[in-house]
Structure 1
Amino acid sequence: MLRIVSWSKQRSIYFALGLFAVSPVAFPVVSWAADPPVSTQWGVVNEPQYPGTICTTLTAELQSTQGSLDAVDADGKLTHPDQERLQAAINACTSGAVKLVIGEGTKDAFLTGPLTLKSGVTLWIDKGVTLFASRDPKDYAIVDVGTASDCGTANDSSKKTCKPLIEATETKNSGIVGEGRIDGRGGSLLLSGDNAGKRSWWDVAWQSKQGLKQHAFRLLQINGGADFTLHDITLMNSPNFHVVSDGLDGLLAWGIKILTPSAVYTEPGYACPEGSTPDKLTPATCFTPDTVKNTDGFDPGQSSRVLLAYSYISTGDDHVAIKAGGKKPSTQMTFAHNHFYYGHGLSIGSETNSGVEDISIYDLVMDGFDSPNGNGLRIKSDSSRGGKVSNVIYGDVCMRNTRYPMIFDTHYSDKQGNLLPDFSGVTVRNFKYMGSKAYGGGYLVFRGLQQDGQYLPLGLTLDTVQFEGKQPVILGSPQISANDKPSYANITLGLGPVSFADALKPDSATRFKVTNLMDGMPADDMDCSAAFVPFSTVLEGAPI
């Protein structure tokens, strides 16, 4: 049995650099006591090393105030003063890193609009440095000839209108590393357009609750290519998704932190004053994870050889969303030694039509803080975007304070079509739930598909799954109705015990089948006592 242990990684890096390098200069590769290697489907992966070649070192010329840069660009005159020199340094680098460091005195900030990475180039954001995003929608606008951009607004259009802050297209061996931060400033008031001074990006996103579609930028978009590395970097306060890959072969994310909203836009413990959040006030003056919509943490889509390891995520939507809505399947992905907090789950879907297979999740710690929107392990789709999901293994999971510890649901929405979701070969092994003050044992949703004469049952194995104290309620949808029974599923129990086995009743009317292979032996005591780590112990200034 794997004992779940949490380490607070402390590193001291000693690295002598010149003040400014016009041409690439080779330095010794930085080394430290690395995290233990991770076993994946494609081999053993070691913690990445920092680049040994620095093309250019850029020094910060701006000063943040308590984690904010709003005072610097309040007049709207300099919305991206560092963009040109950052992009020029990236363009001039042929192989190596563009490193951002603290400037004269305590100057610690860069302010930029969209940047484009290139093959062989790594953006290195040093400890104590923050790369802030412009809060002017014009800087991200995708403009058609003769029309204005909708970026920074919410309306009925589904058209993409905002460029990402950082984009990599068909690159090889690129990345973003360093112990610094990238801040999307999602809660800062916009500087131009219809919402100038009236709404932040997150206020615009909240309009989606009124049936509109928000137009906001993503923090990092990786389109195609191979072997992209994220190492140690913190990504925070994105107006929309934080990290998205599409058609990428080889994504290594190691020791990253994703936090939204940060302490700049909230109160300790997310204890916002009554009436200050976007559901009550526009513009909002305080935000919580439940009021920053569509801020997914890590979304690998149509990609392969993806590893997320030793990382920490707390956000307002999916912690992870493995999507497969394009031409390629999503396959060979490993998620190991991670800690998740607020969020909507380690999810597969909702787009699964190009197929998801060979997914391994182990040594996962989840603390949902009793959010009403909190999910744990989740597979979601519907007949408008469904496909085959198979060979998914969750192992050695410690969880608490999560309303829905497991949701495997083929009816994520009421949308209809002929792309039928088919979830099979799903295993949850060595899972321990520590309870919830608000929701007791929480709710489990098991719902396969029967549509137009086709029967595609959920194929799920539960092996050594233990809930302490109050046991979960088993449902057929997230609607929490006593008459809402699990349906169209083949559930296998064992060999290890399942604490709520007695609640899993076969039902011929709903084609809910249960096969009991439990061997009667007691479960090994899975030790979760040291698993739960406050986010503030790994990221200075985190509100939880």
Structure 2
Amino acid sequence: MNKLLSFVLLMSLHVYSAAGVARVEINELDKLLPPEPSFPKVCIALKASLVAKNFRLPDDVDADPKNSNPDTERLKMAMNACPRGQAVKIITDGEKNAFLAGPIEIKSGVSLWVDKGVTLFASRSPADYDLGDSYCGTAQPKIKNRCKTWITAKNTVGSGIVGEGVIDGRGGSVLTSGPYAGKTTWWDLSIQSKAKPKLEQNNPRMIEVVGGENFTFYKITITNGAKFHVASKDVTGLTFWGIKVITPSLAYTVPGYKCGKGTMPEPGNLSRPSSCFIPELVKNTDAIDPGRSKNVTLAYSYITTGDDNVAIKSGKGKNSPETINHLYAHNQFYYGHGMSIGSETDAGVENIKIWDLNFDGQDSGHGVGLRIKTDGKRGGEISNVLYQDVCLRRMKDVLVFSPYYSSTNDTNHPPNIHDVVLRNVHYVDYPGAKYNKAKVSFSGYRTATVVNPLKIQLDNVVFDQTPELRKKHYHDVEFTLGPGAVTNLPIEAGESISVKKIGEGKSKAFPCPDSVFKSIPSELSPI
């Protein structure tokens, strides 16, 4: 038995009684969490000079692109003047509650503190993010990623973005410069990936942490990213604690995500800006994408977005594994494409632990739950992954473990997914839900020369109704079932499917009452 299986089995015997499963506030896994962050000392306090109303900055503030980023320079000057270990704090001034900036960089050892009641808004002028070729703010065939990131931290040590305020990327605001000025929003550009012919968005990432150590996001709300909200690469020590990611927010939609006909993005239509958005149509707005990063924690946080809730990545690295030791604990997820690993995993992913996750897919047709996605072009070794104490409901694809994420014919990086454990996972019925009878996928990787079976243990995994098994890639799997019950999953041994049972296969379903699916604690959220 490998080290992970031995550890989690020992842990389950310690925490859970033989009579059934009890939800606990603190268990052995919680001992792995780092201490809760704290707010740093303030070096400089900057007062707001703009007024946001109804979660938005009025368009007339920056309708002229000459006024696109009035606070950029003073934020830069304050950041550069602040000593290490301290923070630049942006605060209200009477009714003034907003800042507006273009690309800024976080200094090493310094944090940006967005105070409660304050919103830092991103420029909506593509010229501010342009790399010199005028592609930012356009949709092009085979040309993408031609924008600067809005907020960047490069090779910082001990920096962060903290506070109980809001950082808003304004993905649904009308662009003010470039060939599509007045004709489109960032999110209108995103949906052109579904057009015929396909076009690539050129939108800025919202926040990017590259290199360095010990970067902290604490209590901040991050919303309406034009593209990925937070992406990292080559970072050791990355903490998200008590944050919220809400996209699209109430600034761009209505409660319940009910948008009228002709108000939403349409593939092939760049002649008018959309005025209302739903999560399914704000493409590539991943919330948290920790790529090639070690010692990552996401805890006590809330995420609803139009793409991956989390996408753990590890691409094109020099060592293996480049992505190791991640902890995801006590989180609430809503709309999204999953608590995901992939798709880029060729540099290796190891030792990922997810526990106490409550995930309500909100009946989205694109909703995904627990997911490992990779392929022969970007695959690699993914091992020692634990999902424990997980409640899920109202999603189309609940469990997706597949090395066939794309239709690529490339086999240079064959995926190898093994030592994956699901323990105390419960998919529950919800009255009137569209996806009570959901779908599951399990597959290993096979070519003419390589066979890497998916090796996965299911221990007390319960579906209230039997899900549909996606059979297209159901092959080359080594299942271990138990010691807890596996209920209503249509798993049987076959030509390339082995099933090993351990223990008595008896247990009560992990408790997932309605009360564990908490509402997002923010007035910005329409759900």
TM-score by length of 1: 0.88
Which of the numbers 193, 196, 207 marks the counterpart of 2:178? 193
CA change 1:320–1:390 in 2 (3 A) is same
Alignment deviations for residues 424-464 of structure 1 (CA, whole Å, 9 cap, x no partner): 00110001111252122300001111112211111111100
SS in 2 for 1:267: coil
Indicate the residue corresponding to 2:37 in structure 1.
48
Percent of pairs identical after alignment? 45
Range 332-341 or range 205-214, more displaced: 205-214
CA distance in structure 1 between the aligned counterparts of 2:510 and 2:147, rounded to whole angstroms: 50
User: Is the CA contact (8 Å cut-off) linking 2:300 and 2:331 kept in structure 1?
Assistant: yes
Which of the numbers 279, 299, 312 marks the counterpart of 2:266? 279
Matches within 5 A, 1:503-522: 503-508=490-495, 511-522=496-507
User: Is the CA contact (8 Å cut-off) linking 2:403 and 2:445 kept in structure 1?
Assistant: yes
Indicate the residue corresponding to 1:462 in structure 2.
458
User: Is the CA contact (8 Å cut-off) linking 2:428 and 2:436 kept in structure 1?
Assistant: no
Letter in 2 for 1:430: N
CA change 1:525–1:367 in 2 (3 A) is closer
Matches within 5 A, 1:77-476: 77-95=66-84, 96-103=86-93, 105-143=94-132, 148-158=133-143, 160-210=145-195, 211-279=198-266, 282-327=272-317, 328=319, 329-417=322-410, 418-435=412-429, 437-468=433-464, 470-476=465-471
Which of the numbers 65, 75, 80 marks the counterpart of 1:76? 65
User: Is the CA contact (8 Å cut-off) linking 2:33 and 2:297 kept in structure 1?
Assistant: no
Count of aligned residue pairs for this structure pair: 495
CA distance in structure 2 between the aligned counterparts of 1:518 and 1:261, rounded to whole angstroms: 46
Alignment deviations for residues 136-191 of structure 1 (CA, whole Å, 9 cap, x no partner): 00001112xxxx32000011244532111110000000000000000000000000
User: Is the CA contact (8 Å cut-off) linking 1:38 and 1:46 kept in structure 2?
Assistant: no
User: Is the CA contact (8 Å cut-off) linking 1:5 and 1:530 kept in structure 2?
Assistant: no
SS in 2 for 1:261: coil
Indicate the residue corresponding to 1:33 in structure 2.
none
Letter in 1 for 2:390: V
Shift of 1:283: 2.0
Indicate the residue corresponding to 1:26 in structure 2.
none
User: Is the CA contact (8 Å cut-off) linking 2:144 and 2:200 kept in structure 1?
Assistant: no
CA distance in structure 2 between the aligned counterparts of 1:525 and 1:347, rounded to whole angstroms: 22
Indicate the residue corresponding to 1:27 in structure 2.
none
User: Is the CA contact (8 Å cut-off) linking 2:444 and 2:453 kept in structure 1?
Assistant: yes
Shift of 1:520: 3.9
Letter in 2 for 1:475: R
User: Is the CA contact (8 Å cut-off) linking 2:145 and 2:201 kept in structure 1?
Assistant: no
SS in 2 for 1:389: strand
Range 212-221 or range 485-494, more displaced: 485-494
Indicate the residue corresponding to 2:5 in structure 1.
none
SS in 1 for 2:486: coil
CA distance in structure 2 between the aligned counterparts of 1:160 and 1:543, rounded to whole angstroms: 30
Letter in 2 for 1:260: T
Letter in 2 for 1:225: G
Alignment deviations for residues 99-153 of structure 1 (CA, whole Å, 9 cap, x no partner): 00001x210000000000111100000000000000000001112xxxx320000
Shift of 1:360: 0.2
Indicate the residue corresponding to 1:66 in structure 2.
54
Shift of 1:491: 1.1
SS in 2 for 1:365: strand
RMSD, matched Cα: 1.7
User: Is the CA contact (8 Å cut-off) linking 1:113 and 1:165 kept in structure 2?
Assistant: yes
TM-score by length of 2: 0.91
Letter in 2 for 1:62: L
Letter in 2 for 1:434: V
Letter in 2 for 1:454: V
Letter in 1 for 2:388: G
User: Is the CA contact (8 Å cut-off) linking 1:497 and 1:518 kept in structure 2?
Assistant: no
SS in 2 for 1:171: strand
Structure 1 alignment gaps of length 5 or more: 7-35, 477-483
Indicate the residue corresponding to 2:523 in structure 1.
540
Letter in 1 for 2:66: K
Letter in 1 for 2:34: V
CA change 1:3–1:308 in 2 (3 A) is farther
SS in 2 for 1:71: helix
CA distance in structure 1 between the aligned counterparts of 2:176 and 2:379, rounded to whole angstroms: 40
SS in 1 for 2:127: helix
CA distance in structure 2 between the aligned counterparts of 1:81 and 1:152, rounded to whole angstroms: 20
SS in 2 for 1:170: strand
Indicate the residue corresponding to 1:17 in structure 2.
none
User: Is the CA contact (8 Å cut-off) linking 2:426 and 2:510 kept in structure 1?
Assistant: no
Shift of 1:4: 4.9
Letter in 2 for 1:385: R
CA distance in structure 2 between the aligned counterparts of 1:485 and 1:117, rounded to whole angstroms: 45
Alignment deviations for residues 319-369 of structure 1 (CA, whole Å, 9 cap, x no partner): 000011031511000000000000000100000100000000000000001
